[in-house]
Structure 1
Amino acid sequence: MRSIVLAQDGREDWCVGLQCPCGCGRTIELLVIEEAHPRWDYSVDAKGSPSLHPSVWLTNGCRSHFWLKNGRIHWCH
């Protein structure tokens, strides 16, 4: 089972964490605070499925590039 974690500081959301879906074991941390560059937005639909925007593109290691939409990974080729 894959998990995504939302880290908060008090009441402010600041980071989304997940394991790379390629299976390499890397932990990916994406900043969601307004001041961050780059920054991601997240949403959760009525079924509790998360989405992230923009895509996640790792520039080193496994070099995975994917979207997380409605709880599903969509690979970029």
Structure 2
Amino acid sequence: MVVAREGDELWAAAFMCPCKCGERIELALIPEASPSWRLTSAAPKAPTLHPSVWRKVGCKSHFWVRKGKVQWCKEQS
């Protein structure tokens, strides 16, 4: 994950989709953006994102990033 920031303000996070589809995911981290995510870190190199990431196009992956690990969401029936 690469994070863009200015001083202490986080702007965006980018990473490759964990499903290995090859797509880059870019998430806004500034609260004024819609949608936006919150990035926290319990330890170095262990980011946590809120809310979950749900790709509405392409691979349609739905997952959480918690403490640097991907946790896949179960499919809704």
TM-score surpassing 0.5? yes
TM-score, normalised relative to structure 1:
0.88
Gaps of 5+ in 2: none
Deviation at 1:39, TM superposition (A): 0.6
Deviation at 1:47, TM superposition (A): 4.4
Gaps of 5+ in 1: none
The one-character-per-residue Cα deviations of 1:4-59 (angstroms, maximum 9, x if unpaired) are 01012x32311000100000010000000021011100111134311100000000
Give every structure 1 segment of 4 or more consecutive aligned residues whose post-TM-superposition deviation is greater than 2 Å: none
Determine what percentage of the aligned residue pairs are the same residue. Answer: 47
TM-score, normalised relative to structure 2:
0.88
Alignment of 1:1-77 (within 5 A): 4-8=1-5, 10-11=6-7, 12-77=9-74
